[in-house]
Amino acid sequence: MSREKNDHEFSGLVTEARGGMYAVEERTGRVWLCRTFRGTKTCNGDTTLVAVGDHVTVRSTGDEAEAEGVIVYVDERRSCLVRKRDRKRNRSGEEVQVIASNIDQLAVITSAMEPPLNRRLVDRYLVFAEYSDIPVLIVVNKTDLANHEVLATELAPYRDLSYRIVTVSASTGAGMDILRHQLVNRVSAFSGHSGVGKSTLINALIGEERQMTGALSTAKNRGVHTTSNAVMLPLPDGGHVIDTPGIREFNLSGISRENLRFWFPEFLGPMQECAYSSCTHTVEPGCAVMKAAEEGRIDLQRYESYLAIFDSLDEI
């Protein structure tokens, strides 16, 4: 859906969001500082009004030399990285937060060590990607600190499911060329737990220190937040990365206890043999998925992730 523009309006791409202000880049490469107002229109429903990656219409609000304007219209999004929010705990009152929009793939950034590989969080992202039909890339950083045999065993279930995986070390450069190849001519949303080296990876990819990096919190071996706002950055070989704030947890939007089982692809075969068509694969007798997990045909940690996610979801 589009709208006609007047002489003081132009199309642009939102490249950064910070405290209610937005950087919007027009086709010439010029960047405008913009805000929304009561009259800002969108056809994206009851979600975040403006997000990094959005295509918008901007109206100049003064002297063109100042490059300031208001966003008057937000185009329909073709894809987005979202998470569920508690309406009572955010000022906007939105139920779904759009973290990045119009992405070609989701790059789940994790680390092999410091902090250790968080498979539960990876599985949450994979469920979201399956549900949203967004291509996903698992990027494992800090491999220079890992036991490679142990790491290979941890990643084997994902390779068996044909998920794309790139193992890298931002500090040594190992695997970085392979990662660059996976990002060329794509808009990739980088998301992951705090402290996994996401911003350091991006610094290495773009060839300059554009993203602030911080030291790991040694007290709890958990990362400190080094990216406080989403930002889109161009890659030297083509394409863009959207760096998103590090997260502690990823609350799934649109996923319910009823449909969760469909987003674990290894369940789809065995579930046809369950005694009950509505089997939740948690406690029912005659559950073929539980049997497959017990027999090792489904990775036990993946099945345990399913149970943990199931317990965290609302009943409908």
Tokens (6 digits) for 303: 């099945």
Q: Which stretches of the chain drop beneath a pLDDT of 50?
A: 211-227
Residue 289: which domain range?
260-312
Structure tokens at 308: 């943990």
pLDDT of 96: 86
Query: Does some domain include residue 249?
Result: no
250 in any annotated domain: no
Q: Are 242 and 211 in contact (CB under 8 A)?
A: no
The confidence score (pLDDT) of residue 87 equals 58
CATH code: domain of residue 140: 3.40.50.300
Q: Hey, is 128 helix, strand or coil? A: helix
Same domain, 165 and 268: no
pLDDT at 35: 96
pLDDT digits (tens, 9 = 90+) for 130-150: 999 999 999 999 999 999 999
Number of domains in the chain: 3
Q: Measure CA 7 to chain center.
A: 36
How far is the CA of 150 from the CAs of 56, 244, 308, in angstroms? 46, 29, 23
In this structure, the answer to whether residues 268 and 161 fall within a common structural domain is no
Q: What is the pLDDT of residue 243?
A: 93
Nearest in space to 309 (alpha carbons), one of 126, 143, 146: 126
pTM of the model: 0.89
Q: Give a yes or no: residue 252 inside a domain.
A: no
- Do residue 308 and residue 210 come from a single domain? no
Binding residues for GTP: 141-144, 192-200
How many angstroms separate the Cα of 304 from the Cα of each of 95, 116, 299? Answer: 27, 18, 9
Distance CA 21, CA 14 (A): 10
Residue ranges at the known binding site = 141-144, 192-200, 274, 279, 281, 287
Please check whether residue 160 lies inside any domain of the structure. yes
Asked whether residue 237 falls in the same domain as residue 266, the answer is no
Domain C-terminal end among 182, 211, 243: 243
CA atoms of 290 and 295, how far apart (whole Å) = 9
Residue 271's CATH number: 1.10.40.50
Same domain, 126 and 226: yes
Domain's final residue, options 216, 243, 270 = 243
Residue 184's Cα: distance from chain center in Å?
Answer: 18
The DSSP code sequence of 69-92 is EEEEEEPPPS-EEEEE--GGGSTT
Model pLDDT, residue 224: 38
Each residue of 186-204: pLDDT tens digit?
999 999 998 999 989 999 9
Give the annotated binding-site residues for Zn(2+): 274, 279, 281, 287
Strands 41-42 and 68-74: parallel
> Does residue 1 lie within any of the structural domains?
no
pLDDT at 78: 96
